[in-house]
Amino acid sequence: QSKNKGRNTVERYSGRLSEALNEKLRLTAMLRRALEQKEYLLYYQPQQELATGKVECFEALLRWQPQSEAMIFPDKFIPILEETGMIVSVGEWVLREVCFQVTCWQTKGIAIQHASVNVSLRQFQRPDIVKELLSIVTESGVDPSIICLELTESIMMDNFRENLHKLQALRTAGFSVSIDDFGTGYSSLNYLRRMQIQELKIDRSFINALSEDTTLVNAILGMARGLGLRIVAEGVETEEQKSFLRAHNCEFMQGYLLSRPLPAEQFEAFILSLGAATTDNPQQLKKNV
């Protein structure tokens, strides 16, 4: 394998392949130091409850800002973090950072009801994942029941039997679990019923296609209702999509129409401007940190 012969061999490949490999090697080397160099940051994308207009929920989305380069989006570096296993420590950082931020907002009287965090296959496969996640959340004094872990269908189906136990344990610990990008994978209705999950996120491709075809979204909404799941429409970009979703009793929406993912201070300003998420009782913390 050329990989073992090192960089020189890699560079002899011609054209695009070589360029792509070099770029990957370069990013990998940079990523190895990204955590200690504090180059990661989180953006927060608000979710709105359609019936009330309230915004008290977000999804945390990872960004990478290397010292001397433009900000890099997940699609470009998460696969590398996955391949190398670095996603495990980065994933822990993400959860710790979310808990820290939620705590800060709570002390300011901004009560976040639901904070979603993406979890990758490599993380979920860890035998002690539930303990690991719980200890991060407990240490930060956040109530696990506001933390929602987003998994994709392919992660769920990877090892169904073992996952059932993990999902049960997450539930016992107080977390909620969501299926991200729902509809793009291959989970059967029967599996869905047996899994301990609390939320479905309708993939944005179905929301995007609403003007041509409403059958799938209707079917997913009906099914989620039947199973008693919280439902979030992803990638909502137009008023038409929003009114359709509201008329069909979709509970929550997330998308550019409401807001792009925002840095923490801008997210805070956004929800304060809506005036919805503040509470008279700022000290909802289990303990002060």
Task: Report in angstroms how near the CB of residue 237 gets to Mg ion at its nearest.
Answer: 14
The distance of closest approach from Cβ of residue 2 to ligand C2E in the complex, given in angstroms and rounded to an integer, is: 29
- Residue 99 interacts with, from Mg ion, ligand C2E, none (CB under 5-8 Å by kind): none
* 48 near ligand C2E (CB under 6 A): no
For residue 30, what are the contacts with CB-CB under 8 A and spacing of at least 6? 66
The DSSP secondary-structure symbol of 142 reads -
265 vs 73: CA distance, rounded Å: 19
The answer to whether 256 contacts ligand C2E (rule: CB under 6 A) is yes
CB 72 → Mg ion: shortest distance, Å? 16
Q: How far is CA 190 from CA 186, 194, 223, 224, 231, in A?
A: 11, 6, 12, 13, 18
* Minimum CB distance to ligand C2E, residue 14 (Å): 31
118 counts as binding Mg ion under rule CB under 5 A: yes
How far, in Å, CA of 159 to CA of 268, rounded? Answer: 39
Task: Give the integer Cα–Cα distance in Å for 91 and 74.
Answer: 12
Q: Which stretch binds ligand C2E (CB under 6 A): 20-28, 29-37, 69-77, 212-220?
A: 69-77
Window of 64-72, 222-230, 231-239, 270-278 that interacts with ligand C2E by CB under 6 A: 231-239
Min separation Cβ 229 and ligand C2E, Å: 17
* Contacts (CB under 6 A) with ligand C2E, residues 158-187: 180-181
Q: How many residues in the shown chain lie near Mg ion by CB under 5 A?
A: 5
Tell me the CA end-to-end span of the chain in Å, nearest whole number.
51
Q: By C-beta, is 184 or 284 nearer to Mg ion?
A: 184
**Using CB distances below 5 to 8 A depending on partner kind, what does residue 94 bind out of Mg ion, ligand C2E, none?**
ligand C2E
What residues pair up with 60 in beta bridges, in sequence order? 44, 117
Interface residue with ligand C2E, options 235, 241, 242, 277 (CB under 6 A): 235
Tokens for 63, please give them. 């960004």
Q: Which does 183 bind (CB under 5 to 8 A by kind): ligand C2E, Mg ion, none?
A: none
* Residue labelled with tokens 């300011």: 108
Whether 142 and 117 have beta carbons less than 8 Å apart is answered as no
- Measured distance CA(2)–CA(240) in Å, rounded: 52
Token pair 């490949």 is at which residue? 13
CB of 257 to ligand C2E, least distance (A): 7
Our finding on whether 150 is near Mg ion (CB under 5 A) is: yes
Output b/e per residue, 74-101; b: 16+ Cβ within 10 A: eeebbebbbeeebbbebbbbbbebbbbb
Note the residues at the interface with Mg ion (CB under 5 A). 118, 150, 180-181, 234
Give residues in contact with ligand C2E (CB under 6 A).
45, 61-62, 73-75, 78, 87, 91, 94, 118-120, 150, 180-181, 204, 235-237, 255-256, 261
